[in-house]
Amino acid sequence: MTGTTFTARPKDIQRSWFVVDAEGKRLGILASAVAKTLTGKNKPIYTPNVDTGDFVIVVNAEKVELAGTKPDKKVYRHHSMYPGGLKEVPYRKMLAEHPERIIEQAVKGMLPKNKLGEAMFTKLKVYAGPNHPHESQCPVELPVRQRTAGGEE
């Protein structure tokens, strides 16, 4: 039995543009759908060591939702690498000042932690409001599953 394993090459990759409206969507569900599209796992030519993903535009980042009491408890932390340099920003302050960073950090955490993940992350475009400058790419709506109040899909 002789079989060959398909490996995607740069000439095989055709990138598409997708747009997602974050209004009323849960952060984790939205981020996982976006990360899956950025990595190319939704394509039959997916290869783990090749960037086969598509471009994703997220609009209305300021209207993304968190479940339950998470908006009051969630804190974003980073360190300046100097003594006493731990910075903590509550979710509500981040949402008010930089709503696009919430989605960017959630998606970045789901991508590979290497140069390939950095290349995938550059294909993510997040905007706080409903407008974006990528109309000329003719983006298609990316379907994102939505949870109901009862927890069913």
Tell me the C-alpha distance between 56 and 26, whole Å: 17
Judge contact between 24 and 66, C-beta under 8 A.
no
Instruction: Quote the pTM value.
Output: 0.90
Tell me the C-alpha distance between 128 and 130, whole Å: 7
Residue type (1 letter), 70: K
Is 3.90.1180.10 the CATH classification of the domain at 16-68+101-141? yes
pLDDT digits (tens, 9 = 90+) for 47-104: 999 999 999 999 999 999 999 999 999 999 999 999 999 999 999 999 999 999 999 9
Q: Which residues of 88-113 are buried (b: 16+ CB within 10 A; e: fewer)?
A: eeebeebbeebbbbbbbebbbebbbe
pLDDT digits (tens, 9 = 90+) for 133-150: 999 999 999 999 876 666
